[in-house]
């Protein structure tokens, strides 16, 4: 049983679905608990792969009903392995799993926190000591995310397993023909510099600063375009900021897309100025495509998987970011596939390891 909360086109669900597509489903089958009763972008694919989808009351509306419904799903269907991907909120779903008698209860942390994200981070810090209470196995997407949730001592002991945000490297490989087609479909000239970003419109992803960076890039290179893929609560405010900068013709909001792996081919640069991350799967995908990647120093250094990766401090202003990007070698990395495989981020190999972590004993 995979518990993933809301489906919002985010990195956590992308990671779990990557593993689901590539795991030996004759040995392990995934079923899903999803918050909310509406149909989601994942439903059809889950069903086509042999899984089941259970919709429950969102924890944001009624946490007690959410816990009870998860409990009933696990109890009534006798799930023995429950894998909660809800970070600190996993305390609630794993409490339900414990009550229902699931033998393996996995807490998987995918994130960290910053104090500047006041209410959200306050909740994370409050729940963090309780998150592992009902778990009996522990995972994290990176050493950084693991240390934040479990502490350095537990990470060093080996009790916490790092499950890499692995991807199908071949599926994300650069394709010149696809690039030409997508640019034609999106009405982008071949000599236009395309800055790309994939992420939910929320504080963590720092779109506000991303627009500042692109504004400075556009001043220096008028033939430039920003592609924003994703949706979320802050999208409207970012659209307003784009209008204030008079950049409407140079910023393309693509919304939620099912062809993200293809859209990387249309980009020339990938930028991720996040306030915090565990290990963002989009950074892995962009590197697999060979894109030059510029990410903030708040992103785990563990996402340095290839020579395409560059870190820039968030203490530096947008003008400095823009100059570092434009003064860099903006060409595709032809060794991307080999570098990611060497760093154990090829999903086919990592999916085999996950089966071992699910073993009941």
Contacts of 3 (CB under 8 A, 6+ apart): 32, 33, 70, 82, 83, 84, 85, 86, 90, 93
CA–CA gap between residue 97 and residue 82 (Å, rounded) = 7
Question: Could you tell me the pLDDT band of residue 279, with boundaries at 50, 70 and 90?
Answer: confident
- Claim to verify: residue 176 and residue 283 sit in the same structural domain: yes
Question: Could you tell me the pLDDT band of residue 115, with boundaries at 50, 70 and 90?
Answer: low
What is the pLDDT at residue 85? Answer: 95
HSE toward the beta carbon, residue 35, CA cutoff 13 A = 21
Average pLDDT of the residues in 53-60: 96
What is the pLDDT at residue 325? Answer: 98
CB 295 within 8 A of CB 310: yes
What is the pLDDT at residue 333? Answer: 96
- Claim to verify: residue 101 and residue 195 sit in the same structural domain: no
- Claim to verify: residue 17 and residue 96 sit in the same structural domain: yes
Strand order in the sheet with 160-162: 53-56, 32-35, 2-5, 81-84, 104-109, 137-140, 160-162
DSSP secondary structure string for all residues of 137-194: EEEESSHHHHHHHH-HHHHHHT-EEE----B-GGGGS--HHHHHHHHHHTT--TTSEE
Residue 262 burial (CB count, 10 A): 17
3-state helix, strand, coil in the chain (%, to 5): 45, 15, 40
- Claim to verify: residue 256 and residue 228 sit in the same structural domain: yes
φ, ψ dihedrals at 312, nearest 5°: -130, 135
Contacts of 84 (CB under 8 A, 6+ apart): 3, 90, 93, 94, 97, 105, 106, 107, 108, 135
CB 300 within 8 A of CB 282: no
- Claim to verify: residue 227 and residue 133 sit in the same structural domain: no
Q: Which domain holds residue 67?
A: 2-166+346-357
Compute the mean pLDDT over every residue in the chain, rounded to the nearest whole number: 94
Taking 80 as the threshold, does the pLDDT of residue 294 lie above it?
Answer: yes
Number of domains in the chain: 2
Q: What is the pLDDT of residues 316-335, one digit of tens each?
A: 999 999 999 999 999 999 99
Q: Which SS3 state, helix, strand or coil, does residue 286 take?
A: helix
- Claim to verify: residue 44 and residue 145 sit in the same structural domain: yes
Q: What is the pLDDT of residues 132-157, one digit of tens each?
A: 999 999 999 999 899 999 999 999 99
Q: What is the pLDDT of residues 152-208, one digit of tens each?
A: 999 999 999 999 999 999 999 999 999 999 999 999 999 999 999 999 999 999 999
- Claim to verify: residue 63 and residue 87 sit in the same structural domain: yes
- Claim to verify: residue 146 and residue 255 sit in the same structural domain: no
Q: Are strands 251-255 and 224-229 parallel, antiparallel or unpaired?
A: parallel
- Claim to verify: residue 113 and residue 6 sit in the same structural domain: yes
Taking 70 as the threshold, does the pLDDT of residue 116 lie above it?
Answer: no
Question: What whole-number percentage of the chain has pLDDT above 70?
Answer: 98
What is the pLDDT at residue 133? Answer: 96
What is the pLDDT at residue 131? Answer: 93
Q: What is the pLDDT of residues 215-250, one digit of tens each?
A: 999 999 999 999 999 999 999 999 999 999 999 999
Taking 90 as the threshold, does the pLDDT of residue 11 lie above it?
Answer: no
Report which of residues 33 and 124 the model is more confident about: 33
- Claim to verify: residue 201 and residue 333 sit in the same structural domain: yes
| Domain containing residue 22: CATH number | 3.40.50.2000
Question: Could you tell me the pLDDT band of residue 123, with boundaries at 50, 70 and 90?
Answer: confident
- Claim to verify: residue 240 and residue 291 sit in the same structural domain: yes
Tokens, residue 237 = 């405010």
Strand order in the sheet with 224-229: 251-255, 224-229, 193-198, 269-272, 293-296, 309-312
What is the pLDDT at residue 361? Answer: 67
C-alpha dist (Å) from residue 36 to 30, 60, 65, 95: 19, 10, 12, 20
What is the pLDDT at residue 300? Answer: 87
- Claim to verify: residue 258 and residue 209 sit in the same structural domain: yes
């Amino acid at each position: 049983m995979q518990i993933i909360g809301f489906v919002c086109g985010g990195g956590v669900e992308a990671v779990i679905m990557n593993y689901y597509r590539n795991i030996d489903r004759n040995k392990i089958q995934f079923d899903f608990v999803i918050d909310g009763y509406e149909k989601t972008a994942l439903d059809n694919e889950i069903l086509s792969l042999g899984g089941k989808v259970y919709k429950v009351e969102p924890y944001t509306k009624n946490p007690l009903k959410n816990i009870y419904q998860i409990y009933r799903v696990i109890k009534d269907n006798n799930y023995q392995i429950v894998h909660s991907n809800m970070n600190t909120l996993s305390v609630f779903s794993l409490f339900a799993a414990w009550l229902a008698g699931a033998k393996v209860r996995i807490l998987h942390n995918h994130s960290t926190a910053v104090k500047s994200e006041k209410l959200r981070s306050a909740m994370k810090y409050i729940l963090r000591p309780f998150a592992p209470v009902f778990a009996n196995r522990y995972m994290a997407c990176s050493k950084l995310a693991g240390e934040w949730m479990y502490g350095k001592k537990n990470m060093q002991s080996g009790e916490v397993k790092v499950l890499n945000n692995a991807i199908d490297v071949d599926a994300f490989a650069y394709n010149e023909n696809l690039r030409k087609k997508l640019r034609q479909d999106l009405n982008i000239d071949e000599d236009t510099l395309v800055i790309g970003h994939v992420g939910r419109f929320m504080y963590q992803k720092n779109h506000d600063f991303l627009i500042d960076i692109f504004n400075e890039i556009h001043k220096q290179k008028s033939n430039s375009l920003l592609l924003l893929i994703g949706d979320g609560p802050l999208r409207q405010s970012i659209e307003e900021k784009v209008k204030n900068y008079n950049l409407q013709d140079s910023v393309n909001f693509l919304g939620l897309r099912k062809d993200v792996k293809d859209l990387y081919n249309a980009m020339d640069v990938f930028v991720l100025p996040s306030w915090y991350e565990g290990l963002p799967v989009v950074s892995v995908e962009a590197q697999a495509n060979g894109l030059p990647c510029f990410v903030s120093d708040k992103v785990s250094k563990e996402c340095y998987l290839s020579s395409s990766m560059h870190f820039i401090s968030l203490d530096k202003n947008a003008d400095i970011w823009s100059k570092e990007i434009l003064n860099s070698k903006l060409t595709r990395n032809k060794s991307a596939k080999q570098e990611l495989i060497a760093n154990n981020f090829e999903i086919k190999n990592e999916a085999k390891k996950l089966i071992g972590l699910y073993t009941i004993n």
